[in-house]
Amino acid sequence: MSFVSLNPATGKILSTYPEMDLKGAREDLKKSHEAFRLWRTSPFQIRAACMKKAAEKLTAEKHALGELMTQEMGKPILQAYAEIEKCAWLCEYFAEKAEIFLQPELVETDAHKSYIAYEPLGVILAIMPWNFPFWQVFRAAIPALMAGNAMVLKHASNVSGCALAIEKIFKESGLPEELFQTLLVTSTTALSLIESPHVQGVTLTGSLGAGKSVGAQAGKFIKKCVLELGGSDPYVILEDADIEEAASICAKSRLLNSGQSCISAKRFIIVENQFEKFEELFLGEMKKAVLGNPFDEKKTVGPLARIDLRDILHKQVLESMDLGAKCLLGGYIPEGPGSFYPPTLLTRIQKGMPAYEEELFGPVAALIIAQNEPEALQIANDSGYGLGAAVFTQNKQKGEEIALKGLEAGSCFVNAFVKSDPRLPFGGIKESGFGRELSCHGIREFVNCKAVYIM
């Protein structure tokens, strides 16, 4: 069996990659474990030098890597370049901060000396999706590697070229040969690898269904895991919001990566007396988007990553319309090759519609009316997901209070769209998963928080 990489803009085959069987994958796990045994004793200066080298390579090869990303999953080319740049920033950030984050912490007890040390665990299995094929891997890998762990990557099969390119970057940056390996395996094989004694942790970014499967397997074999799952992020627009600015920011968030982002805005909840104005302005912003060839820098929305994903999204749109949603823009499958779907605006969304209940993974926005602020927050939290959320108000104190206490999500922003940042912890609550990536909290997920006590 082989993995096939298709260009989603044309439907044409780019490359095929041979699948690795379970036996071969287990052998590679052993190699990564041996590399870990040496790497775990390496000083932070050596680790940091490798990460700085990786940042240099990413910067130098930005255009080639971005083009590969656009070919395999259709990301608009300028956004692909930006993703590579963000990965380089991540490498540089943890090269500088990892030693500080993992510094032993003295604790006063009745002992002569007692402290908390942070020791690496071993090989971490990373199961990653296609939508940010570099960033999401680096987001998991850099903190883990800087903590002294090894990592094996099971990437989405449609971005196998990106997966192998990431392995090459790490090898050429001075990491031990098998410390980071890409395994071209199926999801079934990846689940089987969790039981290996050489796997000490699992990190997954993906769907709720994938999270349930991986979480159950990790629990069965007592393996630490971090799960970053889906999101149906609510953006609440209050009565005193700057409506023009809110409409612009909200549209930008909804259409980022052609709408294929776990933390992009999905549900827009507007208090009643601002609804018509926001609807008009938001429609205008959505109309500015240009659908087309993702290699054309003037195009802001590219194809969805796969035809089946477009079909699922279109079904959600049609079912919402059948239940009473009004479509102001888009809502159809374009003629021609590729898996394109136009920017789409659904309004008058009600509870029970797919646009209210489900994650819309594509350039489709759902507008919901709330009678007042309390109802707006109730609607925002009326979801099984809890990844990100935002509130728009000119009263920053009120906005902060709502972000802190009123919204149920792992990341809550005020007058800005939700995004990941190496300096801040990233992850969700409820069905959006558990555990954190990035910041000091992320690097401490896959370490042994060890108490040392000397009497």
Each residue's pLDDT tens digit, 345-365: 999 999 999 999 999 999 999
- pLDDT band at residue 275 using 50, 70 and 90 as cut-offs: very high
pLDDT in tens, 242-265: 999 999 999 999 999 999 999 999
Q: Provide mean pLDDT across the span 75-88.
A: 98
Report the mean per-residue pLDDT for the chain.
Answer: 98
Angle formed by the axes of helices 44-60 and 135-146, to 10°?
160
Contact criterion met (CB below 8 Å) for 133 and 139:
no
What per-residue confidence (pLDDT) applies to 359? 97
- Is pLDDT above 80 for 336? yes
What per-residue confidence (pLDDT) applies to 303? 98
| Burial per residue of 220-259, b for 16 or more beta-carbon CB atoms within 10 angstroms, e otherwise | eeebbbbbbbbbbbbbbbbeebebeebbbbbbbbbbbbbb
Amino acid at 188: T
Domains of the chain: 2-229+429-454 (3.40.605.10), 233-414 (3.40.309.10)
Contacts of 192 (CB under 8 A, 6+ apart): 22
Pairwise CA distance, residues 301 & 61, whole Å: 24
Q: Is 324 left (phi over 0), alpha (psi -120 to 50) or beta?
A: left
The closest alpha carbon to 161, from 91, 56, 80, 271, belongs to: 80
Angle formed by the axes of helices 160-171 and 135-146, to 10°?
30
Percent of the chain scoring above 70 in pLDDT: 100
* Paired tokens of 226: 């971090």
Q: Provide mean pLDDT across the span 313-324.
A: 98
**Residues taking part in catalysis:** 228, 262
Pairwise CA distance, residues 334 & 363, whole Å: 14
* Paired tokens of 345: 């605006």
The closest alpha carbon to 370, from 359, 360, 362, 381, belongs to: 381
Q: Provide mean pLDDT across the span 385-398.
A: 98
Q: What does the angle CA 117 – CA 120 – CA 123 come to, to the nearest 5 degrees?
A: 165
Contact criterion met (CB below 8 Å) for 330 and 383:
no
The closest alpha carbon to 261, from 87, 78, 418, 85, belongs to: 418
- pLDDT band at residue 1 using 50, 70 and 90 as cut-offs: confident
Q: Provide mean pLDDT across the span 2-24.
A: 96
Q: What does the angle CA 432 – CA 437 – CA 442 come to, to the nearest 5 degrees?
A: 135
| pTM score | 0.97
The closest alpha carbon to 355, from 387, 406, 314, belongs to: 314
What per-residue confidence (pLDDT) applies to 15? 96
Contact criterion met (CB below 8 Å) for 249 and 417:
yes
Q: Provide mean pLDDT across the span 142-164.
A: 98
Pairwise CA distance, residues 103 & 357, whole Å: 44
Pairwise CA distance, residues 282 & 238, whole Å: 15
The most distant pair of C-alpha atoms in the chain lies apart, rounded to whole Å, by 75
* Paired tokens of 22: 């379970």
